[in-house]
Structure formats: structure tokens, C-alpha cells
Structure 1
Amino acid sequence: MVGLSYYDSWYNRGLELHRAIGMVLLGLAFLFGCWKLLSPSPMLQSELSPWEKLGAKTAHIILLLAMFAIPVTGYVISTSAGQGFSTFGLFEFPALLTTSENTRDLATAAHYYLAYGLIVVVAVHAGAALKHQFVDKHGTLMRMH
């Protein structure tokens, strides 16, 4: 999407779809946050070293924060001109604030770097889970819920 020009036919349709999916993901993140309050994760496995426990906790915090920060920065970008946007044509997300160009630029940079950083964190975290499941034989994947 970043490489599309304004006159590309997919530019506006892709952007509308991107915004809509982002808002759905923000809603799902909210539901997930509520679920985690009601059903906390099990304790980390005792077989893990202190640095592995720290890495797991850090990754979980980053993943949780990113689930909110990425859609929120996208919302700030999308509504920075003071106009709301439609989600799947079903309802309109209003612009709650009008932001300056500097704030929009900051939100754009944060959105970009958070999204690509999230890919790295997900890959490392998934790799660690697979290592603990198949190399260390800790049964990590069976404990996930």
C-alpha cells in the first residue's frame, strides 16, 4: 500500500479496507484485554532461565501494547484532518480531535515502526515457543490458551 500512488485504483479501496480492518482489530484487542483480566495466563514454566522469563514477559507486554498502539496511531493519522471515516460502510468513526501536521507525522512514523517492529517481535516470540516445544520438549504449545 505504501508504494501506491494517489491515482492507483487500489489506493483508496486499499486504504478504506486497511482502516476498517484496523478498527476491527482494535475492538478485538479490547475484548482480548478484558478476557486477559478475567482469565490470566498460566505462570511461566519453571524450566525457563531467568533471561528467558524476562524475554517472554517483555514480548507479551510489547505484543499487548502493539495491539492497541498500532490501530490508535492509524486512527490519529486517518482523522488528523478532522474528518471521520467509514468502516465497511456500516458505521462511521468520528474524528475526536484535529491534530497538527507534526502530530500526524509523529503518528505516521510510530504506526510504521510499530507495525514492522511487531513483525520482528512476533517472529522471535513464535520461534522461541517452537524451540521450547520441539527442542527443549517443555510442552509450551499445549499450555497456550
Structure 2
Amino acid sequence: MKKYTKTAMFFHWLTALLIIAAFWLGLTMVDIPGITPTKLRYFSWHKWLGITILGLSCLRLLWRLGNRPPEYPANMTSWQKKAASGLHILLYVLIFSIPISGYLYSLASGIPVIYLGIFPLPVIMDPNPELKPLLKQLHYVLNMTLLASFCLHVLAALKHQFFDRDGVLKRILP
């Protein structure tokens, strides 16, 4: 069975690790009561991870557009292939929309985003107290959708590895 390219594997695993780190940091920071130096530092790191994920995802998508993934195994049913393709599209939509929603939420809150504490991102909207709670909720819902999609993605890969034994998981392993 044909494998993904080393570049595709690199993008896949690095993106996955950064998303897990950003998700964990996001859950951790919102549980810290009040406004503390630690909480503010975590918020900065969370934003930096989000921007990094967005930039890496742009590179990943460009790579993917020029490099087709390996075909699904011949024994996969049509509905499984459609479900897998749909889930991959959903994951791509989420890895773009989550950082963008977080960025807009930060701007609606009146807090500019300064990548790595050095590079200010453009302020494309004024603070908006009416939009702020909607963007906060959107960011949360998108993240929970990503969590569910991620779990489904992992479970499907494990199903292919241990039940179907069709080599699907091995295609993305270095």
C-alpha cells in the first residue's frame, strides 16, 4: 500500500501535536480564576499556538493541493470512503476556522494579538461587546466539534489497524 509523503506526515503529526497542546492550554487557562500573570501568559501562548497552527495549515493545504494522498484500500466500501473524505474536509475546515474565530474573539474583546510578543497582527475590527460573546461561543463550539472529529478520526484509524487490518494507519506513520 502506498504511503503519504514524508512532508505530508510531517504536517499531519506536527499539526496534531500543536492542536493538542493548544486545546490543553485553552482548557487549562480558562480554569484559572481571576487575572493572574500565569493566566495571561497561557492566553498568549494559546494565541501563538493558534497562529502557528493557522500558518502551518496554510502550508499543509498548499502541499496537499499539489500532492494527492494515497488511494483508499480497494476493500473499503463506498460509504466508508465518502465518510473518510468528509471527515478530512471537516478537519481542514476546523483547523482554519478555529484560529480565525479565536483571533476575531480577541479583537472583539479589544485585545490585539501580538505573535510571539513581537509581531502585531492587523486589527481588522474594533472592539465589539455585542459580538464578543458570540465569537467566544463559536470558538468553543468549533473546538468541541474538533474534539469529537479528532476522536472519530483516531477511532477510525484504530478500527482500520486492528479490525480491518488494511494498512490505512500505516500510510501516515513515519
Q: Normalization by structure 1: what TM-score?
A: 0.89
Aligned to 1:42: 70
Tell me, yes or no, if the aligned pair for 2:160 and 2:167 is still in contact at 8 Å: yes
Tell me, yes or no, if the aligned pair for 2:108 and 2:128 is still in contact at 8 Å: yes
Partner Cα distance (2:131, 2:72) in 1? 39
Of 49, 74, 89, 2:102 maps to 74
Partner Cα distance (1:122, 1:86) in 2? 28
Partner Cα distance (1:2, 1:51) in 2? 39
Partner Cα distance (1:102, 1:138) in 2? 51
What displacement does 1:120 show? Answer: 1.3
Aligned to 1:118: 146
Partner Cα distance (1:7, 1:41) in 2? 45
What displacement does 1:20 show? Answer: 0.9
Aligned to 2:89: 61
Aligned to 2:120: 92
What displacement does 1:77 show? Answer: 0.8
Compared CA separation, residues 114 and 132, structure 1 to 2 (3 A) = same
Q: Give the CA RMSD over aligned residues.
A: 1.8
- The count of corresponding residues between Structure 1 and Structure 2 is 145
Of 126, 134, 141, 2:169 maps to 141
Q: Which ranges of structure 1 fall in alignment gaps of 5 or more residues?
A: none
Q: Normalization by structure 2: what TM-score?
A: 0.76
Q: Which ranges of structure 2 fall in alignment gaps of 5 or more residues?
A: 1-28
Partner Cα distance (2:51, 2:38) in 1? 20
Counterpart amino acid of residue 57 in structure 1: S
Q: Which runs of 4+ in 1 moved over 3 A?
A: none
Partner Cα distance (2:39, 2:110) in 1? 21
Aligned to 1:129: 157
| More off after superposition, 76-85 vs 21-30 | 76-85
Partner Cα distance (2:44, 2:54) in 1? 15
Aligned to 2:134: 106
SS in 2 for 1:97: coil
Seq. identity, %: 31
SS in 1 for 2:130: helix
